[in-house]
Amino acid sequence: MGYLAGQYDVIVIGAGHAGCEAALAAARMGCETLLLTINLDMVAFMPCNPSIGGPAKGHVVREIDALGGEMGRNIDKTFIQMRMLNTGKGPAVHALRAQADKFDYQHVLKKTIEETPNLTLRQGMAEELIVEDGKCVGIITKTGAEYRSRTTVVTTGTYLRGKIIMGELMYESGPNNQQPSVRLSASLKEHGLQLVRFKTGTPPRVHKDTIDFTKTEIQPGDDNPKFFSHETESSTNEQLPCWLTYTSETTHKIINDNLHRAPMFSGAIEGTGPRYCPSIEDKIVRFADKPKHQIFLEPEGKNTSEYYVQGLSTSMPEDVQLGILRSIPGLENVEMMRNGYAIEYDAVVPTQLWPSLETKVIDSLFTAGQINGTSGYEEAAGQGIMAGINAARKVQGKEPIVLGRSEGYIGVMIDDLVTKGTNDPYRLLTSRAEYRLLLRHDNADLRLTPIGYEIGLITEERYAKFLRKKEMVEADIERLRGIKVKPNQVNDMLTAAGTAPMTNGTDALSLLRRPEVTYAMLETVVPSTPDMTDEMKEQVEIQIKYAGYIEKQLQQVERLNKMEKKRIPDDIVYSEVHGLASEAKQKLELVRPLSLGQASRVSGVTPADLSILLVYLEHYNRVTAAKGS
């Protein structure tokens, strides 16, 4: 019944946030690419909260953009609210977050995909991998279409053997009642991939006209919104507010009275859920002494009345969900349009991947997104673009691109996944990064645009603009270093800002180091050149103000890099490395780190083991050199 339906360089299975980035990257890098999805109406769908960004996640979106990806541009076109979070804290943790018009988001991205050269978007459910000599060479769909490829990227999200659970009800389904992908799991397993069962959930959606907003607090967007993409310069999008309310005593009572019906506690759910976004029933049981929990009401788009009830993720039965909703101030008469649910799905144990996101057991097969044990659109998209880049580079016979932990949150996330694995759905947090001060929101372009350009995802025009920004920032720092400021020029200003007046003259750069002094204040005394943009000024200010801390972290990175550069040969047999502890042998054999740096992060590997490994590598290199000569 099968037929040969096409021959591609890269096939991407799944058109969610990971799949879209992967397919776009591969196609833009010149590879003939096929993007397969179970349902064409679900491209770039947001099955959970209609928002993108926030701490760490927003950083990832900026990074995707700097590499030439789509998520940043797409949300800039379709946001209905934009807020910069953490503005009261240091520059490293400023984080942009957008509410999306989830329908616009999908449609705009689908159109971009449809218009991208080399990219074919097609509806079809992949059911089987074609593996020849340990190498994935294509897939077969449910309808018997056989697509051949040189590399394949699997981004199935929560569709793999998906199962929706709600109270006593349980049925096989993908998110939002889509068809699940049942047979692909078996094919992955058959070819040697180990799978685990994870769980996530989503809250109910309610009708806007049945909400009493007077009982809630308004949460508006920023007056002067910033953007995710370095390409976006302005926007005319109208902003809609979100609304804040809280659970009540009645809410907690309803939940406690119905715990016997909660699948979380009745044992119906076998998958491991994320610790960081527990369901409301989980929160109330684990934090019993907390009298109330925040609930945000978020619009799902301009042309819909559906509101997302953030904070109320639940898998309680439908009748209990309604009771819970109506116990919340402002929602007393609410109409529930869709119920919340928990969903279980298969994920790949991510330590089975190389840092390029290619699987170790099946050559030319890559996985990205929720299938790798993560959670979140941004985490998925960040892996998606890397998998797409590396799948394309493999086709082109080039070395994979692996971002370091000091280069980006994407690097931190992938290194965590492939080196340590994860026991529950992985969410990025800024605290997962050792070098938070280097991985800032504002410098994502400085960190990654050169890489995006090198691999061909950043246009000449954009790169030239980037270089100009970089040069101007550097020149401005030098300019400030050279300008002398006299006490009488600035002392009034300093006193007004609550900082000590100066007794001797100093240079403008030193003055800007003071926590209380801003670039804007300095400009009143020492005007900047007219072509400096706000973005450049911000960059100058941050680089100067935090120079000491940044320098400290750079030194740590330099040390780390020495270990990262010590490559471990592919053919190392850990069981034969004399002196390694047996736990270290097992763990290292499993993860097969590429460098000594990565080895140092494998759990169970002690400093003594690393020493031994280092000595072994030296020994190995000398023997190899001796053989060569």
Site residues, other proteins (CB under 8 A): 48-49, 54-56, 85-86, 88-93, 95, 203, 275-280, 282-283, 286-287, 290, 293-294, 296, 310-311, 313, 420, 429-432, 436-437, 515-516, 546, 549, 552-553, 558-559, 562-563, 578-579, 596, 603, 606-608, 610-612, 614-616, 618-619, 622-623
Helices 409-420 and 377-395 sit at what angle, rounded to 10 degrees?
Answer: 80
Nearest CB to other proteins, comparing residues 249 and 558: 558
- Widest CA span of the chain, in angstroms? 88
Rounded distance, CA 34 to CA 118, Å? Answer: 8
Strands 145-154 and 135-141: antiparallel
Give the start-end residues of each E strand in 101-134. 119-123, 126-132
Q: From the CB of 354, what's the least distance to other proteins, in Å?
A: 21
Q: From the CB of 383, what's the least distance to other proteins, in Å?
A: 19
Residues in the chain: 629
Nearest CB to other proteins, comparing residues 361 and 612: 612
Helices 444-454 and 57-66 sit at what angle, rounded to 10 degrees?
Answer: 40
Nearest CB to other proteins, comparing residues 94 and 150: 94
Q: From the CB of 500, what's the least distance to other proteins, in Å?
A: 12
**Residue 278, annotated as binding a ligand:** yes
Rounded distance, CA 457 to CA 431, Å? Answer: 29
Q: From the CB of 105, what's the least distance to other proteins, in Å?
A: 18
Owner of token pair 């042309």: 303
Q: From the CB of 303, what's the least distance to other proteins, in Å?
A: 24
Nearest CB to other proteins, comparing residues 203 and 369: 203
Q: At 403, is the secondary structure helix, strand, or coil? A: coil
Q: From the CB of 280, what's the least distance to other proteins, in Å?
A: 7
Judge contact between 427 and 374, C-beta under 8 A: yes
Rounded distance, CA 79 to CA 430, Å? Answer: 24
**Residue 287, annotated as binding a ligand:** yes
Nearest CB to other proteins, comparing residues 89 and 111: 89
Nearest CB to other proteins, comparing residues 338 and 479: 338
Owner of token pair 């006193």: 495
What is the DSSP secondary-structure string of 452-514? HHHTT-S-HHHHHHHHHHHHHHHHHHHHHHH-EE-HHHHHHHHHHTTSPPPSS-EEHHHHHHS
Tell me the sheet residues that pair with 206.
Answer: 307, 336
Kind and range of the H or E element at 84?
strand 79-85
**Structure tokens that stand for 35 in this block:** 């993007």
Nearest CB to other proteins, comparing residues 141 and 310: 310
**Residue 400, annotated as binding a ligand:** no
Nearest CB to other proteins, comparing residues 171 and 276: 276
**Residue 282, annotated as binding a ligand:** yes
Nearest CB to other proteins, comparing residues 434 and 507: 434
**Residue 271, annotated as binding a ligand:** no
**Residue 453, annotated as binding a ligand:** no
Q: From the CB of 513, what's the least distance to other proteins, in Å?
A: 11
**Residue 44, annotated as binding a ligand:** no
**Residue 285, annotated as binding a ligand:** yes
Nearest to 242 by CA among 487, 501, 399, 51: 51
**Residue 280, annotated as binding a ligand:** yes
Q: If you ran DSSP here, which 8-state letter would residue 67 be given?
A: T
**Which ranges of 146-279 does DSSP label H, i.e. alpha helix?**
183-190, 249-257, 263-266
Q: From the CB of 614, what's the least distance to other proteins, in Å?
A: 6
**Which ranges of 546-606 does DSSP label H, i.e. alpha helix?**
547-565, 582-591, 596-600
Kind and range of the H or E element at 5?
strand 3-13
**Residue 31, annotated as binding a ligand:** no
**Residue 572, annotated as binding a ligand:** no
Q: From the CB of 298, what's the least distance to other proteins, in Å?
A: 10
**Residue 274, annotated as binding a ligand:** yes
Residue numbers belonging to the annotated binding site: 14-19, 273-287
Residue numbers belonging to the annotated binding site for NAD(+): 273-287
Residue numbers belonging to the annotated binding site for FAD: 14-19
